Amino acid sequence: MADGTLFIGTKRYSSWSLRGWLAVHFAGLDVEEVVIPLAGGATPEVKAKTPAGFVPYLEHDGAHIWDSLAICEYCAEFAPGLWPEDRAHRALLRSASAEMHSGFAGLRKAFPHIAGPVASAAARDRQMTDEARADIARIVALWDELLKASGGPFLHGPFMGIADAMFAPVAVRFRTWALDVPAQAAAYVGQVHDHPLVRRWFAEAEQEPAEWRLEGYETKVAG
Ligand SMILES: N[C@@H](CCC(=O)N[C@@H](CS)C(=O)NCC(=O)O)C(=O)O
């Protein structure tokens, strides 16, 4: 029997779920996975099954953890190597992860997380905004700094850590919407997509029932 349950949302859309799911898998926690189809706003089943009304939500061995960053920190208690050993390096990646967690609303609003191909018309209609452009510039500069500090190919170093889990859905957005970024950022986007767990997430997203698709996400999105 598993040690707990990880509640997540539709893999195609739920960027926050991807973060928690990656951390749980990096740490090797043995949990049952419950995927709740998102309604595109308030999802009654999410509200009913989670303390704060959001996924991801983790129940593990008597602990109840909601919010992606808290789940990441919980996972790092089991796998301390998910943060760098060096204090200053750890502080840098913690700051970047917190900045992701609380920011980049312009990018997130203009370019939703879709794990998989979108109709070309949807991509064509997607509008770049000043806010999204500023977010992308900041992310590219931040990734440069983090990759220089870690030596790459991941923000954490030779393997993905918490900072990579936090930024993986940004890499997804960059590729899904073919956003134009400099070579180093593009290479990082490629590394993330080549990771076996990210490949698995995409494969499982592809298997989700067609009725889980949300028209508003697939075509013109709010914002
Ligand atoms: N701050 C939260 C945000 C989580 C969040 O917004 N999750 C979305 C899905 S990606 C959600 O649960 N939406 C509520 C709903 O669909 O009812 C975190 O980091 O986990």
pLDDT (tens, 9 = 90+) of the chain, 223 residues, equals 999 999 999 999 999 999 999 999 999 999 999 999 999 989 999 999 999 999 999 999 999 999 999 999 999 999 999 999 999 999 999 999 999 999 999 999 999 999 999 988 887 788 899 999 999 999 999 999 999 999 999 999 999 999 999 999 999 999 999 999 999 999 999 999 999 999 999 999 999 999 999 988 887 644 3
**What's 105's domain CATH number?**
1.20.1050.10
Is 158 found in the same domain as 69? no
How many other CB atoms sit within 10 Å of the CB of residue 191?
18
Residue at 219 is within a domain: no
CA of 17 to the centre of ligand 1 (A): 8
Give CA separation, 141 vs 136, 145, 149, 173, 193, in Å.
9, 6, 13, 17, 20
Structural domain boundaries, residue 193? 83-204
Helices (H), the chain: 15-27, 44-49, 68-78, 87-102, 105-110, 120-125, 130-150, 162-176, 183-194, 196-206, 215-218
Structure tokens at 4: 């707990």
CA distance 44 to 40: 11
Residue at 218 is within a domain: no
The vertex-163 CA angle with 156 and 180, nearest 5°, equals: 95
Is 199 found in the same domain as 90? yes
CB of residue 166 inside a 6 A radius of ligand 1: no
CB of residue 54 inside a 6 A radius of ligand 1: yes
Is 36 found in the same domain as 100? no
CB of residue 38 inside a 6 A radius of ligand 1: yes
Residue at 64 is within a domain: yes
CA distance 129 to 180: 14
Q: Is the peptide bond before 37 cis (omega within 30 degrees of 0)?
A: no
Residue at 48 is within a domain: yes
How many other CB atoms sit within 10 Å of the CB of residue 126?
21
**What's 32's domain CATH number?**
3.40.30.10
CA distance 85 to 13: 33
Is 139 found in the same domain as 37? no
Is 193 found in the same domain as 89? yes
CA torsion through residues 38, 43, 45, 48, sign: positive
Residue at 104 is within a domain: yes
Work out how many domains the chain is built from and give that number.
Answer: 2
